[in-house]
Structure formats: C-alpha cells, structure tokens
C-alpha cells in the first residue's frame, strides 16, 4: 500500500488536468509568452521596414521630379521660360490705370502709345511739382485735345525721365510710384509705361525684342514732344537690360539720350540665372546650364548688357545696394567694371553703392535721403557735357 500510495501521490492521474494553475485571472505559459513576443517584434520590424521604404520611395520621387523633371520641362517649354523671366502674369496692383491720381500722382495723365507693329501700351505722364497745381486747376478742361496740348507744352523744354520697370508688377507698383514722386520733386517729368503683356497694355506674347520695340516706341513719342529739353532713361533690374539693348540699337541709328540711370543692373541673363536665389537649389546639378541657361539663350532671351553697353556712348549712373539678393551687388559691379574697361572717357560712368546696413535690398533705394542729390548732380553733369559738345 505504501508504494501504491507513493505512486498516487507523485504520478499524475492519466487523463487528468496537467495545465499550469491559473493565478487570479491571468494565464502564464512558459512557451506561449516568448513566442507571442517574437511574433510582435517580427511584425513591428516588418511594419517599420515598410514605412522606411515608403518614405524612401516618396523622397526619391520628389527628388526626381524637382531636380530632373522640372529642369527638363523648363528646358523644352518656351512659355515657361518667358513666364518665369517676365512674370507678367502677376497682375498687381489691381487699380484703375486710367486714373493715376488715385495712387497719389497729382495731376498725372493716362494715355496710350502705339508701337510700329500696332501694340497699344499703357502710359502715365507724371508732372514736375511746379506744374501739378496748374494741372489740377485745369481739370475743368473737358476737351482732351486741349489738355494734352497743355501737357505736351510743359514737356517741350523740360527734363523728362522715361522709366523702364523690371519684371513682375506694373508701373503702379508702390516702390515705382515713390521714385516718380522723387523725380517730380526735382521738377522732372516722368513717363512710366508697361510693356505688352503687362497691366493695361495689349496682352500679347512677350520676348526680348518685343520689349525693346515697346521702349523704342515710347522714346520716339517723347522725342516728338521734348524738342528743346533733355531726355533721360531710368531702368530698374530687368529694365536695365531692356534699356541697354534699346539704346544700343538707337545708337546705331544716331538717336541718343542725355543720360542713363541703371538701378540694380546685371551684366547678362546667364549669370543672373546662376546667381538667382531660387537657382541655388539647382546649381549643383551637372545639367544645370543645359536645362536653365542654354535654352533661354537659344530662344534669344539673353539681355547681355555687358555686350550692349559697348555700343552706348551716353553717360551712365549705376545705383546698387550691397544687400540686393535678387540681383547680387557683384553683378552690378561686374557690369560697371566691364563698361569702364572699354570706355575711353571714364568720367561719363558713375557707380554709387548703398551699404548693406541701410537695408534697401532690391527695390528700396528710393528711401535714401541722398538719392535726390545724387540724381541732380548726375543730370547736371550730363547737361554740361551736352552743352560742351553742342
């Protein structure tokens, strides 16, 4: 019996429940728990790998699109090249261009000039301060012909500045209006216009030669009226390249102006593209020039001021801010050195830099308190040169 009792005590009964005991409501298994953890780890790692792979594929596709697809789209899309260069689709500000007094230009008139190829350009004529009150008093003249005759008479023997703006915006952009007002305070007439495709000018395709023809048409209109006075041209940013190209062509025709002001100029479009802030994202690409520089040159969008100014003899005034990030200061300086290098009379070329700490950037040089004096002195020097040569 003792042996049987011992067997019954130490041996489990066949068919009996040999599962581990429950402790409370939890079930513990020496084999189940490690296996469960292993499966969880496996699935987690697999999920993480899929996430990482997805992120990698997405990043690769983004990189491929931005740095491969976009450059090649730019290369083979002439419309894209023109659009990003001229930015004439930026239709701001939205104002009534027939009423320039609404933006603070006292006594200014709105008119249209038609080019040789029949393009209608929107133009403003802003008056010297000495004529502004008289112009306001003459608003009772309902006959447009009489009013135009009076304005044309004021232009005849005065100093007129033709303003050629850069890309984006219009002749009504705030920083441009501020400059007109400064020039009016100096008792200069200002003729500001929009190229085709901008503002209220005819909405037609635009390219380098087209904007040059527009500028030539406006200058011809001004010359017809300024018979005893003097005509100056002011270009800003892309407008400096348009002015340089225009005057180079007019020089060959024997038609010159009294002087030229170049605000924030660059030497040629190729270098400006390479230095443009957004371009810095792409310049590391081996195909950068192939996709961004070569195609615009192939499509005759060159704006080579360093070449065009070789054929311009008028006195030049360069104005550039050191903190200009759109057209880097070094490009303006490079253009200036290029001009000085081949001009025999360097007294006809002035360069004024505005220190970085002033914070004028690309379009706020008009804020400088010395600007009126700088311009007045330059105009005076040009008039002396004109009188000496006549």
Query: Is the bond preceding 93 in cis, omega lying within 30 degrees of 0?
Result: yes
pLDDT digits (tens, 9 = 90+) for 277-335: 999 999 999 999 999 999 999 999 999 999 999 999 999 999 999 999 999 999 999 99
Q: Which residues pair with 261 in a beta bridge?
A: 234, 317
pLDDT digits (tens, 9 = 90+) for 322-334: 999 999 999 999 9
Strands 159-164 and 189-193: parallel
Q: 231 pLDDT band (50/70/90 cuts)?
A: very high
Task: From the candidates 131, 189, 230, 237, give the one annotated as an active-site residue.
Answer: 237
pLDDT digits (tens, 9 = 90+) for 328-387: 999 999 999 999 999 988 789 999 999 999 999 999 999 999 999 999 999 999 999 888
C-alpha angle with apex 376: 375 to 382, nearest 5 degrees? Answer: 90
> Which pLDDT score is estimated for 4?
44
Task: From the candidates 189, 324, 336, 350, give the one annotated as an active-site residue.
Answer: 324
Active site residue 362: yes
Confidence check: pLDDT of 193 > 70? yes
Closest by CA to 365, choosing from 317, 319, 302, is: 319
pLDDT digits (tens, 9 = 90+) for 137-160: 877 666 788 889 999 999 999 999
Active site residue 324: yes
Confidence check: pLDDT of 22 > 80? no
Instruction: Give 230's contacts (C-beta < 8 A, 6+ positions apart).
Output: 159, 160, 257, 258, 382, 383, 386
Helix (H) or strand (E) holding 72: helix 70-76
Q: What is the pTM of this model?
A: 0.87
Are the C-beta atoms of 179 and 239 separated by less than 8 Å? Answer: no
Can you list the domains of the chain with their CATH numbers? 88-389 (3.40.50.1820)
Helix (H) or strand (E) holding 50: helix 32-64
- Tell me the C-alpha distance between 352 and 375, whole Å: 11
Structure tokens at 353: 């830099």
Closest by CA to 223, choosing from 262, 256, 268, is: 256
Active site residue 189: no
Radius of gyration for the alpha carbons in the chain, expressed in angstroms and rounded: 36
Structure tokens at 141: 């003249």
């Amino acid at each position: 019996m003792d042996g049987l009792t011992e067997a019954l005590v130490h041996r489990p009964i066949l068919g009996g429940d040999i599962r581990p005991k429950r402790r409370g409501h939890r079930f513990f298994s020496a084999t189940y728990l490690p296996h469960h953890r292993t499966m969880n780890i496996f699935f987690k790692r697999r999920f993480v790998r899929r996430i990482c792979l997805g992120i990698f594929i997405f990043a690769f596709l983004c990189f491929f699109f931005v740095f491969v697809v976009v450059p090649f789209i730019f290369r083979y899309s002439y419309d894209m090249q023109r659009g990003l260069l001229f930015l004439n689709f930026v239709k701001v500000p939205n104002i009534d261009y027939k009423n320039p007094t609404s933006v603070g230009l006292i006594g200014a008139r709105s008119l249209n000039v038609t080019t040789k190829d029949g393009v209608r350009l929107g133009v403003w004529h802003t008056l010297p301060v000495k004529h502004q009150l008289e112009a306001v008093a003459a608003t009772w003249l309902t006959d447009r012909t009489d009013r135009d005759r009076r304005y044309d008479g004021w232009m005849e023997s005065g100093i007129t500045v033709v303003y050629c703006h850069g890309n984006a915006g219009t002749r009504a952009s705030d920083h441009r209006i501020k400059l007109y007002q400064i020039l009016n305070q100096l008792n200069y007439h200002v003729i500001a216009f929009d190229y085709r495709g901008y503002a209220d000018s005819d909405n037609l395709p635009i390219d380098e030669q087209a904007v040059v023809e527009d500028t030539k048409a406006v200058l011809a209109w001004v010359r017809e009226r300024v018979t005893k006075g003097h005509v100056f041209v002011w270009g800003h940013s892309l407008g400096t390249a348009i002015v340089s190209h225009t005057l180079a062509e007019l020089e060959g025709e024997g038609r010159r102006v009294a002087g030229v002001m170049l605000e924030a100029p660059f030497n040629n479009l190729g270098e400006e593209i390479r230095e443009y802030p957004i371009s810095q994202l792409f310049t590391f690409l081996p195909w950068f020039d192939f996709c961004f520089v070569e195609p615009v040159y192939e499509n005759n969008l060159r704006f080579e001021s360093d070449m065009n100014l070789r054929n311009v003899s008028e006195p030049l005034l360069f104005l550039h801010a050191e903190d200009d990030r759109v057209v880097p200061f070094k490009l303006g300086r490079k253009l200036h050195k290029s001009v000085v290098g081949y001009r025999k009379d360097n007294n006809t070329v002035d360069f004024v830099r505005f220190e970085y700490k002033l914070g004028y950037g690309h379009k706020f040089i008009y804020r400088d308190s010395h600007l009126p004096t700088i311009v007045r002195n330059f105009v005076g020097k040009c008039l002396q040169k004109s009188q000496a040569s006549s």
